Amino acid sequence: MGGTFDPIHYGHLVTAEAARHLFKLDQVIFVPSGRPPHKLSHKLTPASERLLMTLLATAPNQNFIVSDWEVQREQISYTYDTVRAFHQKFGDSAELFFITGADAVLEIMQWRQIDELADFCSFIAATRPGYRLDDFQASPKLTAKLGFLEVPALAISSSDIRGRVARSEPIKYLLPETVEMYIYKHGLYQDLSG
Ligand code: NAP
């Protein structure tokens, strides 16, 4: 499961659990983005902090694990490189799925080496209820490897949580308490300018 996780919230966790159940996955590996290609000019929370919050949020679920693979790399985080590394690690017998948000998947035809990536994995795109897919266009090969999953809990969003913290509004019950405590203890999202 790929994402910036800035911060991770219950929408991500519900998505992971729903995908695990529906697609009968053995485990979900959360891979916080290092330097995502489409966000090179964005101000992101340091990768080490996003990684820690992801560890805190996923710790209670024995089927969830976290990988620091992208975070540890200096290079831009292309999903192709990440999935290929997992393919090498787990071997041909493992069936891999790349789970992420549908907004990210809408641009999938522009992703690096997307055709080769589709040889290594299938894709699960999580949508918010009422999400319109009218503009979605992909090659037949990709369309065949792509599943959509509607997740009501994705009404929660990282950007809304960041805005709430900056405006001193509550974030309780939108994300695990451990992550909430981490955000306040380390003063994250106080200033969204810049
Ligand atoms: P994003 O553009 O920040 O997010 C797009 C939407 O998807 C947001 O609404 C976001 O909600 C949601 N979302 C993101 N991750 C999700 C997840 N794991 N489960 C459910 N919803 C999720 O997306 P991003 O986080 O930067 O990128 C998503 C993944 O796609 C990353 O792993 C990234 O590396 C990969 N990607 C790869 C390429 C490439 O290889 N060329 C290009 C683009 C993206 P929240 O803001 O609430 O998370």
43-97: pLDDT as tens digits: 899 999 999 999 999 999 999 999 999 999 988 989 999 999 999 999 999 999 9
Whether 41 shows a pLDDT value over 80: the answer reads no
Cis peptide before 152 (omega within 30 of 0): no
For residue 194, pLDDT beyond 60 = no
Residue carrying structure tokens 């996003």: 50
Which numbered atom of ligand 1 lies nearest the CA of 3?
A: 25
Q: What is the mean pLDDT of residues 99-117?
A: 90
Cα(172) to centroid(ligand 1), Å: 23
pLDDT category of residue 188 using cuts at 50, 70 and 90: very high
Rounded CA separation 66/84 (Å): 17
Is 9's pLDDT higher than 90? Answer: yes
Give yes or no for residue 6 having a pLDDT over 70. yes
4 lines ligand 1 (CB under 6 A): yes
Nearest CA to ligand 1 atom 46: 158
Mean pLDDT of all residues in the chain?
93
Q: Is 82 in the pocket of ligand 1 (CB under 6 A)?
A: no
Burial class (CB in 10 A: 0-12, 13-18, 19+), 44: middle
Name which of 180, 181, 124, 111 is nearest 154 in CA terms. 124
Residue 97 phi/psi, 5° resolution?
Answer: -125, 135
pLDDT at position 189, please?
Answer: 96
Please tell me which residue, 139 or 22, carries the higher pLDDT value. 22
- In this structure, the residue with its CA closest to atom 13 of ligand 1 is 101
Cα 170 to middle of ligand 1, angstroms: 24
- The residue whose CB lies within 8 Å of the most ligand 1 atoms, and thus the one to mutate among 68, 100, 160, is 100
Please work out whether the CB of residue 127 comes within 6 Å of at least one atom of ligand 1. no
What is the Cα gyration radius of the chain?
A: 16
Q: Is 162 in the pocket of ligand 1 (CB under 6 A)?
A: no
Mutate to test the pocket of ligand 1, among 4, 109, 127 (most ligand atoms within 8 A of CB): 4
What is the identity of the amino acid at 56?
Answer: L
Q: Assess whether the C-beta atom of 38 lies below 6 angstroms from ligand 1.
A: yes
Q: In the predicted model, what is the mean pLDDT of residues 2-18?
A: 97
- Statement: residue 192 has pLDDT above 80: no
Our answer on whether the CB atom of 111 is closer than 6 Å to any ligand 1 atom is yes
